[in-house]
């Protein structure tokens, strides 16, 4: 029975999902249908939580708009999610960033993760003997 569920779920899983973590600032393009017309609407915010796995995986994005905190819980494999783009990589040390709800202004910022390029060391030059 479990194999049958996995078989059906595999049909609906998205193949090209952008990799992102907690603390990252993401731009999500959502497909909105109004009166028979569809358009794309962007929602930019910080990922404060991820939950679930497989077809039921979702994530929570938070932003402050006109002084009010706005959160959206978005299913990762939803057909209404057109594209997810990572704007900034965040350096979070927790799995859930719910404490950001109580922070105001600069306190609510998350440090940006700096990735260092790996530099290979060149072999030391040999001293020539006379």
Q: Is residue 18 part of a domain?
A: yes
How confident is the model at residue 11, as a pLDDT?
A: 82
pLDDT, tens digit (0-9, with 9 covering 90-100), for 26-35: 999 999 999 9
Torsion of CA 47, 48, 49, 55, to 10 degrees: -20
Mean pLDDT, all residues of the chain: 86
With bands split at pLDDT 50, 70 and 90, how would you rate the model's confidence at 130? low
Q: Is residue 124 part of a domain?
A: no
How confident is the model at residue 56, as a pLDDT?
A: 87
Q: Is residue 40 part of a domain?
A: yes
| Interatomic CA distance for residues 39 and 34, integer angstroms | 8
Q: Is residue 106 part of a domain?
A: no
CATH number of 89's domain: 2.30.30.790
Range of the domain at 49: 2-98
Q: Does residue 103 have a pLDDT over 70?
A: yes
Domain count, the chain: 1
């Amino acid at each position: 029975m479990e194999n049958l569920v996995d078989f059906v779920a595999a049909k609906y899983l998205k193949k090209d999902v952008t990799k992102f973590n907690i603390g990252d600032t993401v731009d999500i393009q959502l497909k909105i249908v109004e009166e028979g017309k569809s358009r794309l609407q962007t929602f930019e915010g910080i990922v404060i939580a991820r939950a679930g796995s497989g077809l039921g995986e979702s994530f929570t994005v938070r932003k402050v708009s006109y002084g009010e905190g706005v959160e959206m819980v978005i299913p990762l494999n939803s057909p209404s999610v057109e594209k997810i783009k990572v704007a900034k990589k965040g350096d979070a040390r927790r799995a859930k960033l719910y404490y950001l709800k109580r922070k105001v202004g600069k306190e609510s910022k998350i440090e940006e993760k700096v990735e260092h390029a790996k530099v290979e060391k060149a072999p030391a030059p040999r001293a020539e003997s006379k």
